[in-house]
Amino acid sequence: MKKDRVIELLEEQNRHFKEQIKAADKREQQSQRLICELTSQVKQLTDAVQSLEEALTLKNGKLKKQENISRSLSKLISNESEKQIPDKPQPASETAPSRPSASPKERGNNNSKRKEHFELEEKIIEVNPDHPLFSMSLAKFMGYRDSIRYVYIPPKFIKYIYRQNIYSFNETVFSGCAPAAPFLNSQYDGSFVAGLCQLRYIYSMSVERIVNFFRENGFELEKPTAHHLLGKTAVLFENLYEALREVVLEDPYLCCDETYHKVLVPEKNSKGKGVRKGYIWAAAAATLKLVFYFYEDGSRRQEVLFDFLKTYKGTVQSDAYAPYRKLETDQYHNITRIACLQHVKRKFLEQDKEPDARKIVEMINQLYQKEHEHRTGYQGWTIKDNLAHRKQYAPPILRKIKKKLLSLQAKPDLLPKSQMAEAINYTLSQWKAIEDIFTKGEYYLDNNLVERYNRYISLSRRNSLFFGSHKGAERGVILYSLACSCRMHGINTFEYIADVINKAAKLPPNTDRKIYRDLLPHKWKENRSRI
């Protein structure tokens, strides 16, 4: 009996253990299901958080872009200039000499002095009295007074017919010769082509507008013909353009920048249009006053710049675009890069509501104010004098600016990606290039020399919309280089091209490059002044 009882107890314990095991298995299954559910919920929450982060990043990017657009629009609307405005003149003291007042004859045009335009052709028209009581034969001449009227005569087109007479003398035939045209089998004189180039590349008129302008003034010119003439002119000036490249690269001081123009291309963009930005690089020779534009399939790659500067030795002034910054490395030991203070200043001007930003702008303005106290070449002021002046005024102002920037950078509440942080980092990252501006007396404080001439391309971009192809853009930079170089020297582009195009047309293809160098605007101006 005892034995049976023990077996029953063991069986009962065994059943109890089995029930416990089943309960534990059930709890384990429930735990696993719960873990799976929690894991799924965590994954969903993680995905949601990641999605929110991406949406927030995208929103911040769009918001920043919109802020930049708003700033740009506000600048256009306000049309504020960064040019320094001199202080208002103080009232003259009692001892100060007063400026003599102008005579009534000098101040006849709303109290402003009339410009007399001595450069104009003059025609004198005698006007006698027209009165019934007046007799010319009995009157005594007492004198005269002049009244001036300025007359505008619209552009006039003349058809010259060179009638080449043919004679026979001693069994030989002699014939007169017409002047050579710049292009083979062409009836257009160099002056006609020069007029096209001046309107297109200096006054930024589109070819269509030029054609309409000519039509209104009595000459029917087809648009394809106008394009063809400009294209042939660019081809004719290719050797002159290469001579310009050589001369510009010999200048010890270049101001470099890049701009863009729309270009028609076969490939469609995301909007289904065959148009893209084509970047045009510019190098202005600060000493010789020449500008050279170059273009390589519209690329903004650094290789385009480095290929142009591969043999250059001198100083390059530019903004802080990455390829220019690489010129500061040991790889380009023959080149010294200096910064542009206007680009630095602009970063802080965009935050004009920030007191700290306004303070930085004021200190940069102090550099300009001190610089404008003298002008090289005026009243005997030399480059050497200017360097001595800079060594005196620049170091203390630069130290103050750097100290202020470092104190702002160290503020704990300065957000790393804020506009102020970007402006501070932009400035400090090129501080050596800023200081180097003041190591020579001839360096400009900014890169405005080349940027002023880039505006001609900007105006063309608005008026002409696009170049027809990469080839058209290449032709454009040839003519822009010559036209803007003329502008830098104050040369009338029409007179220059009208003269040079006929001379270049007579030169054989293997002409020595020195001949072309003598035709460049600065040399052309020298030669004209000797005549």
Per-residue pLDDT of the chain (531 residues; tens, 9 = 90+): 566 767 777 777 777 777 777 777 777 777 788 888 788 788 888 887 777 767 766 666 666 667 666 766 666 565 544 444 454 544 544 444 444 554 544 445 555 677 888 888 899 998 888 888 878 778 888 888 888 888 888 888 999 999 999 998 888 988 999 888 888 888 999 999 999 999 999 999 999 999 999 999 999 999 999 999 999 999 999 999 999 999 999 999 999 999 999 999 988 877 778 889 999 999 999 999 999 999 999 999 999 999 999 999 999 999 999 999 999 998 999 999 999 999 999 999 998 889 999 999 999 999 999 999 998 888 899 999 999 999 999 999 999 999 999 999 999 888 888 899 999 999 999 999 999 999 999 999 999 999 999 999 999 988 887 898 999 999 999 999 999 999 999 999 999 999 999 899 889 888 998 999 999 999 999 988 776
E strands within 191-270?
253-264
Q: What is the pLDDT of residue 109?
A: 53
Encode pLDDT of 82-105 as tens digits.
444 454 544 544 444 444 554 544
CA distance 212 to 220: 8
Can you give the three-state secondary structure of 442-503, one letter per residue? CCCCCCHHHHHHHHHHHHHHHHHCCECCHHHHHHHHHHHHHHHHHHHCCCCHHHHHHHHHHH
Per-residue CA distances from 73 to 3, 277, 350, 451 (Å): 103, 21, 12, 20
Provide DSSP, 277-329. EEEEEEEEETTTTEEEEE-STT---HHHHHHHTTT--EEEE----HHHHGGGS
What is the predicted pLDDT for the residue at 414? 87
Other CB atoms within 10 A of residue 518 CB: 14
Which pLDDT score is estimated for 521? 96
Spatial distance between the Cα atoms of 430 and 319, rounded to a whole number of angstroms: 10
- For residue 282, the one-letter residue type is A
- Burial class of 276 by CB neighbour count within 10 A (0 to 12, 13 to 18, 19+): middle
Query: What residues does 275 pair with on adjacent strands?
Result: 264
pLDDT tens column, 236-277: 999 999 999 999 999 999 999 999 999 999 888 777 788 899
Strand partners, 259: 280
The b-or-e profile of 416-453 (16+ CB within 10 A means b, else e) is eeebbeebbebbeebeebbebbbebbebbbbbbbbbeb
**Closest residue by Cα to residue 433 from 325, 331, 283:** 325
Residues 6+ apart with CB under 8 A from 199: 205, 210, 213
Ramachandran class of 223: left when φ > 0, alpha when ψ lies in -120 to 50, beta otherwise:
alpha
Beta strand 172-175 with 314-317 is: unpaired
Least Cα distance to 501 among 161, 157, 191 occurs for 191
Q: Are 476 and 261 in contact (CB under 8 A)?
A: yes
Spatial separation of the C-alpha atoms in residues 283 and 248, rounded to whole Å: 8
Distance CA 75, CA 177 (A): 60
Q: At what angle do helices 223-236 and 493-506 cross, to 10 degrees?
A: 70
Element spanning 336, H or E? strand 335-338
Name the DSSP letter for residue 145.
Answer: -
**How many angstroms separate the CA atoms of 391 and 443, rounded?**
13
What single-letter DSSP state applies at residue 260? E
SS (H, E, C) 401-447: HHHHHHHHHCCCCCCCCCHHHHHHHHHHCCHHHHHHHHHCCCCCCCC
* Residue showing tokens 């619209």: 154
Residues near 244 by Cβ (< 8 Å), separated by ≥ 6?
290, 292, 481, 482, 485, 520
Q: What is the pLDDT of residue 71?
A: 66
Q: How far apart are the first and last CA of the chain?
A: 147
Contact yes or no for 283/292 (Cβ under 8 A): yes
CA 102 centroid distance within chain: 42
- Is residue 418 within 8 A of residue 308, CB to CB? The reply is no
d(CA 190, CA 501): 6
Cβ atoms of 485 and 241 within 8 Å: the answer is: no
| 477, 240 contact by CB (below 8 A) | no
Picking from 346, 351, 319, 364, the residue whose alpha carbon sits closest to that of residue 420 is 351
